[in-house]
Amino acid sequence: MTLEWEKLFAGRVSGMSASEIRELLKLIDRPEIISFAGGIPDADHFPSAAIARAYEKVFQSNTGAGGALQYTISEGYTPLRDWLCGYMDRKGVKIAPDEVLITSGSQQALDFLGKLLIGPGDLVAVTKPTYLGALQAFSPYEPTYVSIAMDEEGPVLADLEAALARKPKFLYLVPDFQNPNGTTVSPARREAIVDLCTKAGVPVIEDAAYAELRYEGDFLPSLAAIDAARNGGVPSQVIHCGSFSKTMVPALRVGWVSGPKDVIQRLVLMKQAADLHTSTINQIVLHDVVSEIFDSHVKRLRTVYKERRDTMLAALEEFMPAGVTWTKPQGGMFVWIELPEGLCGTELLARAIKESNVAFVPGAAFFPDRSGRNTIRLSFSATKPERIREGIRRLADLLVRVSA
């Protein structure tokens, strides 16, 4: 007799299912497909030589690689946490090394924060759209979502106020070049969000995964920095998640979470329970690499990705039929398209793969309430400019056919 596994799974996993989109996207690994689906950095611009040198250094050190291959403390490699304290300080947030935890990518920090803060039925405030991976991280802890509409300056304040009045456990936000819609929260809106959340006693989880990838305009203070400025330089209301995946490489799996000590201490216990610590050798290598080339490498990435963003925006302008609108991100990896009412992003993807050899991600997945049917996300970061132009041309041709 075969075991009926479905009956044994805990109730909280019922919402975790492979999506139809994932099935469609399995089809895009063919060279003729121009994919805007990924949302990943370009591997051709990874700092591979610096990483190789850092690994060699570890193995050639006087003490041998023993320490680097050993278990380490759950909090994270101390020199890397010290480096992050300096980095955050430059951004206006004073944290001590025990107010930052190194995680296996910032994705793990989102999971831990869900585990720490969400009980079944608790309310969690998110924007619509929001980062799909955050929904995937939070949902197993069985929250109910209250979703806040966005305009070009970020979350709509009337919606935020209404959400806060319902006392959610926290607000989750990606203030810079949001995945998926590329929106950046304006300076005034940032102040207002910290104000309103402080008054309501609701913490903010700030996901700064893309904050370094700005291609125009001034860098804006993080919500953590605004919060800290009101609190003698130290964080009080805002928990800040950061990642080296977009600035360095994703595969080392190094991210961090910083915030009030009480929160970090609990998260350290979760880290212990989950995987003891992030890879020792990867933290050592990453620390070596960021100490050496962080600023210069990020500067180079900004030039590369800016050209791609510009190419995509110019091609959209040139080829898209009337009725299609899109965001103009100041940084990050994403342009968000709104299709004419009545069109469906998922249906369009199926046709785009089959008829046009183009791929993207339908927008509905990024809405906790599954609205946003007529939206799609395009990523420009991992596609060369010539291919971007051709891909947008093909997509526009398809849209002309579909709308006819």
Instruction: Give the containing element (helix H, strand E) for 375.
Output: strand 375-379
Our CB check for ligand PMP shows the closer of 242 and 324 to be 242
Nearest to 107 by CA among 12, 209, 211: 209
Our CB check for ligand PMP shows the closer of 95 and 113 to be 113
**Binding of ligand PMP at residue 391 (CB under 6 A)?**
no
Least distance in angstroms from the C-beta of 319 to ligand PMP: 27
**Binding of ligand PMP at residue 267 (CB under 6 A)?**
no
SS3 content of the chain, % helix, strand, coil (to 5): 50, 15, 35
Residues 219-248 that bind ligand PMP (CB under 6 A): 243, 245
Our CB check for ligand PMP shows the closer of 141 and 198 to be 141
**Binding of ligand PMP at residue 207 (CB under 6 A)?**
yes
**Binding of ligand PMP at residue 290 (CB under 6 A)?**
no
Least distance in angstroms from the C-beta of 379 to ligand PMP: 10
**Binding of ligand PMP at residue 378 (CB under 6 A)?**
no
Nearest to 247 by CA among 89, 108, 72, 87: 87
Distance of CA 86 to the CA centre of its chain: 22
Options 51, 174, 185, 239; binder of ligand PMP; rule CB under 6 A = 174
Least distance in angstroms from the C-beta of 241 to ligand PMP: 7
Residue 124 backbone class (left: φ over 0; alpha: ψ -120 to 50; beta: rest):
beta
Least distance in angstroms from the C-beta of 9 to ligand PMP: 25
Residues 330-369 that bind ligand PMP (CB under 6 A): none
**Binding of ligand PMP at residue 107 (CB under 6 A)?**
yes
Nearest to 254 by CA among 266, 264, 246, 265: 246
**Binding of ligand PMP at residue 129 (CB under 6 A)?**
no
Q: What are phi and psi of 371, to 5 degrees?
A: -80, -160
Least distance in angstroms from the C-beta of 126 to ligand PMP: 12
As a whole number of angstroms, the distance between CA 6 and CA 11 comes to 10
| Cα-based distances in Å from 220 to 11, 93, 173, 206, 240 | 42, 13, 15, 13, 15
Options 105, 203, 259, 362; binder of ligand PMP; rule CB under 6 A = 105
Residue 251, both tokens? 């595969």
Residues 131-150 that bind ligand PMP (CB under 6 A): 131, 133
Tally Cβ neighbours within 10 Å of residue 232.
8
Least distance in angstroms from the C-beta of 390 to ligand PMP: 25
Our CB check for ligand PMP shows the closer of 135 and 174 to be 174
Our CB check for ligand PMP shows the closer of 141 and 177 to be 177
Nearest to 254 by CA among 266, 242, 238: 242
Q: Is the dihedral of CA 103, 257, 41, 283 positive or negative?
A: negative
**Binding of ligand PMP at residue 38 (CB under 6 A)?**
no
**Binding of ligand PMP at residue 47 (CB under 6 A)?**
no
Options 35, 106, 183, 280; binder of ligand PMP; rule CB under 6 A = 106
What single-letter DSSP state applies at residue 280? H
Q: Which stretch binds ligand PMP (CB under 6 A): 60-68, 103-111, 155-163, 165-173?
A: 103-111
Taking a C-beta distance cutoff of 8 angstroms, is the pair 47, 249 a contact? yes
Taking a C-beta distance cutoff of 8 angstroms, is the pair 175, 208 a contact? yes
As a whole number of angstroms, the distance between CA 73 and CA 228 comes to 27
**Binding of ligand PMP at residue 184 (CB under 6 A)?**
no
As a whole number of angstroms, the distance between CA 240 and CA 95 comes to 11
How many chain residues touch ligand PMP (CB under 6 A)? Answer: 14
Ranked by CB distance to ligand PMP, the top (closest) residue is: 105
Q: Is the dihedral of CA 282, 175, 370, 338 positive or negative?
A: negative
Our CB check for ligand PMP shows the closer of 102 and 316 to be 102
Least distance in angstroms from the C-beta of 116 to ligand PMP: 17
**Binding of ligand PMP at residue 383 (CB under 6 A)?**
no
Distance of CA 119 to the CA centre of its chain: 23
In the complex, the residues that contact ligand PMP under the rule CB under 6 A are 39, 105-107, 131, 133, 174, 179, 207, 209, 243, 245, 250, 255
